[in-house]
Structure 1
Amino acid sequence: MRRDMSATEAVLAQPTVLLPAIRPVRLPTAAANKMALNTTPTRPNAGPPQALDRPDNAPPRVTRGKADPARNQAIDRHWSERPNRSAATRPATRPFVRVRGRHAAMSRRQRWERSYVRSLVLCDLLAGTAAGATTFGLRFGDEVTSYNLAYMVLSALLPVLLLTVLAVARAYERRYLFVGTDEYQRVLRGGVGLIAGVSVISYGLDLDLARGYVLAALPTAIVSSVVLRFALRKRLHLTRARGGSMRRVILVGHELSVIGMTRQLRRERYHGLEVVGACLPPGHDGVGVSGPQGLTVYGTFEDVAGAVELADADTVVVLSCPELDGEAVRRLAWRLERDEVDLVVASALVDVAGARTTIRPFDGLPMLHVEHPRLHGGSRLVKEAFDRLGALALLMIFGPVLLGIALAVRCTSRGPVLFRQVRVGRDGRLFRIFKFRSMYVDAEARLAELKHLNEHDGVLFKIRDDPRVTRVGRYLRRFSLDELPQLLNVLLGQMSLVGPRPPLPSEVAAYADDVRRRLAVKPGMTGLWQVSGRSDLPWEEAVRLDLRYVENWTLSLDLVILLRTMTAVVRSSGAY
């Protein structure tokens, strides 16, 4: 190394530290030469500094006055007159590198996400332990013999096996958690893989393993895991409804797109996205965003990185707009990368689930391929079998309840027990729906005089305190018990357990062309509309939820809706 190092290289060779920006003080030449001759390395706290008139370098107001030696002695302990050892090995021309960091919002989000994943692991361990212990106890009792010793070991290993299979199935990755059905699909796939793996190993090694034990313990563990995960997610959604465990989001796009996305995210808070600000194209005043929506406009598309810092956000959602092309989004991703802020690009597709979309590269350009919805084929045959077997099982389980409700309806008001009405089914076919009668027999005749009291904004007629409803009928409607006879319609193949609401012919006559898409599948006893608020939802939102179900049906989605139906019935919100 050259001995006559220039002044610039000497500065670059020193340890890289972060210092506040301070303007240098220009001293007279004589004073500068005098200070250069008398300068010696001293410790920072060796004594009080000499009083110099340096207004540009004056310390902040909070630190003016006599220094307190006991305040912080860390610099005294680490002070050394020798240069830092890394200065000798670092190249003199090493560029300044900013250390990657996470701001407060990112740390908070990662904290509750890690806690949620830990809770999932504990739930799966509990499901495996309970399934193994229960199955062993029911089959062999409390006594451990040489015959059932192997089953006891298998029961003890079941939680570990379950955890391993779910980890391989990527059931703990955060991209699949919190919302949607991907999490449950991965749990079910992992469970099927576990059953198949145990079967193959026992057959290949010629193990004397009772098939009844395997077919009881493993499915019980999988079902318990799904139920516990569902309960944990419901707790998360309740927390989000109170404003906790939310992502702080900056929306980037045109004003109308920002307003629409803000309304949807505020209505569906279980998604966990809290809009805290927006960035609009140049020339937009943002009156519609900052006024009715109450959002802060932080600037244009060039100010997104600064908006993240100012709003303490951890997620940026880019809406569809022509100004933000591929290069602009890529540069934005680079700016957000250093703080690990999530970048989400919202496509212009409406209510298309991720299972129907795949990214296919074409000459370096990612192309979004959209599959057609599964309205026919083998998957629909599976749904048909699931509906009819499920309806038969539910009729057998709720048989005594159905008999009790029939007696209550018969004894409290005159008229038939069952109410029959013509509804429109799949592809416009008409059928008669069965319900327990919850109104007086002259309800249809009194409908005209109550039309002006309609509280719904669409083609439906709904009022909260309908005078046509009987006393028993109010309780039946509150807990949706009046709809149990529709299990007969499901058994006859006219309806499904899960699907859009069965409409009246008069309602179908008023449908727009897009709304008629609801008739592409069988109507259901429950659906997204019923578990999302029922009669409290506006007509447009009810139609959107039904169309979302038609476009994105899966068997796992049906299972999730059935589980959500139980909680919706207990809450009885929107049921009147």
Structure 2
Amino acid sequence: MIKGREQTLARLSTLMQVGLSVACYWVVAWAVNTFLRPVSIAIHDNNTIYLLIIAIWYTLIKELNLGKMLRVKTYSELFAEYFALVVISSGLLYLGSLFLIDSVPTLILALFACLNLIMLFGFRMLSYRIFKLLRGKGYNTRNVLIVADDESYLHFIDRMLFIRDWGYNVWAIMSDGKQIKTKYESHVRVLHEHFQLSEIIDANVVDEVIYCKGKFDNEEVRALIYACSEVGVTFRVYSELLSVVSKQSHLTYFKELPFLTFSNTTKNYFALKVKELLDFLFSFFIVVLISPVLLAIAVAIKIEDGGSIFFRQKRVGLNGRIFDCLKFRTMVENAEALRVKLENLNEQSGPVFKIKNDPRVTRVGRFLRKTSLDELPQFFNVLKGEMSIVGPRPPIPSEVQQYKRWQRRRLSMKPGITCIWQVSGRNNIPFEEWMKLDMLYIDTWSLKLDLMLFLSTIKVVFTGEGQ
């Protein structure tokens, strides 16, 4: 029932987006002809354009799955998807118009692309927001059974339990892990693993089963898949291996036997060069644009205690390169000397030193940290080629010396001003999970991911979620 309803809504959403795109072109063509400059376009040419829009937009929305009802997706990821849709579809529309009709002014097509992006993203964001509000009130929810152990990614389970607008109701957790029981049995029923999943599904309302054990058991997963598929229950698997599988593997066959093949292919050189170029251009633009803000912050720091404006700290960059990382000074001048007296108050695990209410932070510094404005001088590091806008945060040398060997892989990519950790809870995430998030970024890196993380960072800055 739920699946059929969501498919119907997806089709309706697709048709509405196509209709909205046609309306956008009509509005732009009318506005240009009426107000900007008279352009004579034959009626049959306009009809051809409308048919092209219907065909191209419907096909791409279906292929990119942009009609699907969303449950878990960030607005930045949504914007990136619609940006790609409009760029590709507008390019195809332009090529189609060259071959099928006499001429369509480039101005009309450019304005149409801009309006189309605004309207489609606005429509999708509004509908997504409405469904999130409805799910938060208990409508259109799916009952979920989570199979976990003490090695599971607990941050994911926390989100499934406490983010109501995702529309997932965690009916139970199946686990014998002591940590799982201690942490979650006061919030949700915790079932022993000796129960048969097929019997649980048959006796209760379960829409999805999510397997997220840290210790992957092939036989167990195979049995669970069969138990779910027999009665039409959705089965999902989370594994850290999947982040590598999705990017560094392909399926091959030896006669009829399937093999998952991993190959040490070289990095996408072209995409990395595009990333470097965009880093430089965007950083230059930002520095010029916000120069009055930089000056105002510098004056505020100077007025408060008369000390230095910038804080320079040795950081470890790409493959171990040492550089001076710039920040606006947010602490008292002798902060490093005072750290020794505060070591026992450290709230972060591992080699990182973090205190939520650090007494060394100044009044101006507290505001700068809350809004993440203290990071702005690092755009100068980006211009020098020492950092990127998006990438794992650069550690200090003493932290790197305490890294486990697998954690050193985070140095294999140029450090950045922001990354997954910055938009996922910061100090609320333990050190080990922070490192895993950086590995996830490296293994799944793409220009699209950088765009999503950058947009999410802007949200953190404007909502004051920094620490």
Q: Does residue 305 of structure 1 match 2:201?
A: no
Partner of 1:485: 377
Q: Does residue 335 of structure 1 match 2:227?
A: no
Greater Cα offset, 361-370 or 531-540: 361-370
The code of the aligned residue for 2:197 comes to V
Partner of 1:207: 102
The code of the aligned residue for 1:258 comes to D
Partners in 2 of 1:537 and 1:572 — Cα distance?
A: 18
SS of corresponding position for 1:516: helix
Structure 1 residues without counterparts, runs of 5 or longer: 1-101
The code of the aligned residue for 1:332 comes to A
Match of 1:384 among 276, 285, 310: 276
Report the alpha carbon displacement of residue 391 of structure 1 after superposing the two structures with TM: 1.2
Report the alpha carbon displacement of residue 229 of structure 1 after superposing the two structures with TM: 4.5
Report the alpha carbon displacement of residue 124 of structure 1 after superposing the two structures with TM: 7.3
CA contact (8 A) 1:289 1:297 kept: no
CA contact (8 A) 1:526 1:565 kept: yes
The code of the aligned residue for 2:99 comes to G
Q: Does residue 317 of structure 1 match 2:213?
A: no
Cα deviation, 1:349-380, whole Å, max 9, x if unaligned, reads 16436354544455444433446587451111
CA contact (8 A) 2:247 2:443 kept: no
Partners in 1 of 2:394 and 2:281 — Cα distance?
A: 21
Given the superposition, is the C-alpha separation of residues 297 and 435 from structure 1 closer, same or farther in structure 2, using an over 3 Å criterion?
Answer: same
CA contact (8 A) 2:14 2:61 kept: no
Report the alpha carbon displacement of residue 212 of structure 1 after superposing the two structures with TM: 3.7
Partners in 2 of 1:442 and 1:288 — Cα distance?
A: 41
Partner of 1:508: 400
Match of 1:496 among 384, 388, 409: 388
Partner of 1:147: 40
Partner of 1:56: none
Q: How does 1:49-448 map to 2 (within 5 A)?
A: 107=2, 111=5, 129=23, 133=27, 137=31, 142=35, 145=38, 147=40, 160=54, 163-172=57-66, 174=68, 178-179=72-73, 187-205=82-100, 207-219=102-114, 221-222=116-117, 225-226=120-121, 229=124, 246-251=141-146, 257-261=148-152, 263-269=154-160, 274-277=169-172, 292-294=183-185, 295-297=189-191, 300=194, 303-318=196-211, 320-324=216-220, 328=223, 331-336=226-231, 340-346=232-238, 349=241, 351-352=243-244, 354-370=246-262, 375-448=267-340
CA contact (8 A) 2:28 2:111 kept: no
Given the superposition, is the C-alpha separation of residues 365 and 267 from structure 1 closer, same or farther in structure 2, using an over 3 Å criterion?
Answer: farther
Q: How does 1:476-555 map to 2 (within 5 A)?
A: 476-555=368-447
Partners in 1 of 2:422 and 2:459 — Cα distance?
A: 11
Report the alpha carbon displacement of residue 556 of structure 1 after superposing the two structures with TM: 0.7
Partners in 2 of 1:514 and 1:238 — Cα distance?
A: 41
The code of the aligned residue for 2:404 comes to A
CA contact (8 A) 1:133 1:155 kept: no
Q: Which has the higher contact order (CA 8 A, sep 6+)?
A: 2
Q: Once superposed, what is the RMSD of the aligned Cα atoms?
A: 3.9
SS of corresponding position for 1:208: coil
SS of corresponding position for 2:230: helix
The code of the aligned residue for 1:268 comes to R
Q: Normalization by structure 2: what TM-score? A: 0.81
The code of the aligned residue for 2:92 comes to G
Given the superposition, is the C-alpha separation of residues 463 and 114 from structure 1 closer, same or farther in structure 2, using an over 3 Å criterion?
Answer: farther
Report the alpha carbon displacement of residue 514 of structure 1 after superposing the two structures with TM: 0.9
SS of corresponding position for 2:349: coil
Report the alpha carbon displacement of residue 127 of structure 1 after superposing the two structures with TM: 7.2
Cα deviation, 1:115-166, whole Å, max 9, x if unaligned, reads 57756765776577568746864x5554784537879889988975674243
Cα deviation, 1:389-439, whole Å, max 9, x if unaligned, reads 221222232222222222222222212222222111111111111111212
Report the alpha carbon displacement of residue 276 of structure 1 after superposing the two structures with TM: 2.8
Partners in 2 of 1:202 and 1:161 — Cα distance?
A: 13
- The percent of aligned pairs where both chains have the same amino acid is 29
CA contact (8 A) 2:420 2:438 kept: yes
Given the superposition, is the C-alpha separation of residues 204 and 110 from structure 1 closer, same or farther in structure 2, using an over 3 Å criterion?
Answer: closer
Structure 2 residues without counterparts, runs of 5 or longer: none
Partners in 1 of 2:138 and 2:22 — Cα distance?
A: 33
Partners in 1 of 2:100 and 2:243 — Cα distance?
A: 49
Partner of 1:37: none
Cα deviation, 1:80-107, whole Å, max 9, x if unaligned, reads xxxxxxxxxxxxxxxxxxxxxx5xxxx3
Given the superposition, is the C-alpha separation of residues 226 and 551 from structure 1 closer, same or farther in structure 2, using an over 3 Å criterion?
Answer: farther
Cα deviation, 1:433-459, whole Å, max 9, x if unaligned, reads 111121222222222122222222222
Partners in 1 of 2:38 and 2:351 — Cα distance?
A: 68
SS of corresponding position for 1:444: helix
Given the superposition, is the C-alpha separation of residues 527 and 309 from structure 1 closer, same or farther in structure 2, using an over 3 Å criterion?
Answer: same
Partner of 2:367: 475
Given the superposition, is the C-alpha separation of residues 555 and 206 from structure 1 closer, same or farther in structure 2, using an over 3 Å criterion?
Answer: same
Report the alpha carbon displacement of residue 305 of structure 1 after superposing the two structures with TM: 2.6
SS of corresponding position for 1:535: helix
Structure whose alpha-carbon radius of gyration is higher = 1
Greater Cα offset, 469-478 or 265-274: 265-274
The code of the aligned residue for 1:196 comes to G
The code of the aligned residue for 1:323 comes to E
Structure with bigger helix share is: 2
